[in-house]
Each structure stands twice: as C-alpha cells, then as structure tokens.
Amino acid sequence: MPNIKSAKKRVLVNDKKNERNRMLTAELRTAIKKFNAALDTNNIQIAEELLPETMSIIDSAVTKGIITRNNADNRKAKLSKRLSDIKSGKKEIVIKKDNKTIAAEKRAEKVAREEAAKAEAKRIADEKKAAKAAEEEAKKPKTTKRASKKTEKNESEKTEAKPKRTRAKKNED
C-alpha cells in the first residue's frame, strides 16, 4: 500500500480506469456475441441491423484506448466478411445444438435400437417356430389317399351313428 499522497491517488485513478475498461470490454464482447448469435440462428436481417451498431462500438473502444486500430479493423473485417459470405451462400449456417437436444437425440436413438433388436429377436423366434413346425410335419407318417378316405368315412359314420338323446319328461300325477 502506498504511503505518498500522489501514489494513493494514482491507485484510485487506476482502479477507476480499470473498471471503466472492463465495462467497455464487456460491452464490446456482448455486441460481437449478439451479432454472431444472430448469424448462428439464421437471422440475417437482425445481423444486418446489428452490424453498424457493433462497428460503432468497436470504433468507440479504439477511441477510448481499449483496443488498437489494427485490432478494430481486423474485427470489423471478420464480422462483415462472415455476414457477406452467409448472404452470398459461400458458407452455410450450421445450427448449433444445446446439450438437452443432444441428450434427447441420444435417448431416441437408443430406444430405436432397442426396438429394432426386439423386432429382430421376434423375427428369429418366429422363424425357429416355423422351422420346428415344418420338422414335426415331416416326422408325421404320410397317409395315402385311400387311407385318408377311409379315416374320413369312419369319422363321418361315428358322427351320424350317434342317436340324439332326449330327456324323458316326467309325468306328473
């Protein structure tokens, strides 16, 4: 901590200037972020409206000594080139996804994979059942046409031979 009065004053002035510089730097960064966010969300009209405001904020940062003239010129050139490239179609906008969207997509992919696995397992089980049924059908003894006619005839005789049973009514006296 300084002991001399002028040194104390210098500390206070430096603190004020530091605070002012931080505010102006934050304002500069915020303006650039707003412009880039407008481009990222494919709002070209809003980006065109924000470009002159952003450039004026960059110029004011130069006059207040926050950034150098060359740095300001480079930043302005980058911003205007990005806008013109998007407008002309040289660059396409890739919409960024947040973590919630990415997690939801992963869950949906996982559910789809599980459903596909279940469907595949069901298909395989059905094929096995069909193969087993075909095997059992092949194991059964084959009957000739004559034998099958005889069995049909016997079955039809059994059903016809059975007399219908009727209940006898009780005589009431």
Same domain, 108 and 43: no
* 151 domain residue, yes or no: no
Residues 9 and 77 in one domain: yes
Q: Evaluate whether residue 171 is within a structural domain.
A: no
Residue 66 lies in a domain: yes
Query: Mean pLDDT, the chain, as a whole number?
Result: 85
- The proportion of the chain whose per-residue pLDDT surpasses 90, expressed as a percent, equals 57
Same domain, 77 and 37: yes
Q: Are residues 102 and 58 in the same domain?
A: no
How many angstroms separate the CA atoms of 118 and 125, rounded?
10
CA separation (Å) from 160 to 103, 107, 127, 165?
A: 71, 65, 42, 13
Q: Is the pLDDT of residue 169 over 80?
A: no
Q: Is residue 168 part of a domain?
A: no
Kindly list the distances between the CA atom of residue 5 and the CA atoms of 11, 15, 18, 31, 160, in Å, as whole numbers in the listed order: 10, 16, 20, 39, 130
Asked if residue 82 and residue 15 are part of one domain, the reply reads yes
- Lowest-confidence segment of 21-25, 73-77, 96-100, 104-108 by average pLDDT: 96-100
Residues spanned by the domain of 116: 97-139
Clarify whether residues 76 and 124 are in a common domain. Answer: no
pLDDT higher than 70, residue 164: no
Q: Please report which confidence band the pLDDT of residue 173 belongs to, taking 50, 70 and 90 as the band edges.
A: very low
Question: Same domain for 55 and 129?
Answer: no
**63 and 111 together in one domain:** no
Residues 6+ apart with CB under 8 A from 31: 50, 53, 54, 57, 58
Span 110-130, pLDDT tens digits: 999 999 999 999 999 999 888
**CATH of residue 68:** 1.20.58.110
Q: What is the pLDDT of residues 10-51, one digit of tens each?
A: 999 999 999 999 999 999 999 999 999 999 888 899 999 999
Q: How do residues 42-85 score in pLDDT, each as one tens digit?
A: 889 999 999 999 999 999 999 999 999 999 999 999 999 999 99
* Whether 48 contacts 91, CB under 8 Å: no
Tell whether 55 and 113 lie within a shared domain.
no
The whole-number pLDDT of residue 146 equals: 61
Domain total in the chain: 2
Looking at residue 163, its pLDDT comes to: 56
Under 8 Å between Cβ of 79 and 54: yes
Domain ends where: 88, 121, 155?
88
Per-residue pLDDT at 137: 80
pLDDT of the residue at 167: 62
Q: What is the distance, to the nearest Å, from the Cα of residue 21 to the centroid of all Cα atoms in its chain?
A: 41
Instruction: State the DSSP string of 82-96.
Output: HHHHHHHTSS-----
Long-range contact list for 108-114, CB < 8 A, 24+ apart?
none
